[in-house]
Amino acid sequence: MALFGFGGRRPPADQGVRDAISAWVRRIGGLDEGVLVKVSEIVCADPACPGMETVILIMAPGRPTRAVKVARAMDTVSEADIEAVLRPVP
């Protein structure tokens, strides 16, 4: 049994997965190199969550940080998922 869930953690996603997601965010979002994109995987404590979720922070100089989430583990995120979370709200 894992104490506080620490023994049951998945290994972190590899850097290649993180880089691919970051590249999709940059391309789909039309972001230039001056914008920092941070991709992380966290354990979601909300019972309605699937367990793991991918959090993407978009940090443009002089603008508030934008955070978007994909309710999936990082290694299962697709380009279509990124398009869906970055699509402008009508």
Local mean pLDDT, 10-residue blocks, the chain (90 residues)? 52 82 95 94 81 93 94 93 84
pLDDT of residue 11: 57
Any domain includes 5: no
pLDDT of residue 48: 77
Any domain includes 49: yes
Q: What is the CATH number of the domain that holds 29?
A: 3.10.450
Any domain includes 2: no
CA atoms within 13 A on the CB side of 14: 1
What is the pTM assigned to this prediction?
A: 0.80
Total domains in the fold of the chain: 1
32: exposed, middle or buried (Cβ count in 10 Å: 0-12, 13-18, 19+): exposed
Domain interval for residue 42: 10-83
pLDDT of residue 66: 94
pLDDT of residue 54: 94
pLDDT of residue 1: 44
Q: Nearest CA to 86 among 46, 14, 35?
A: 35
- SS3 of the chain: helix, strand, coil, percent, to 5: 35, 25, 40
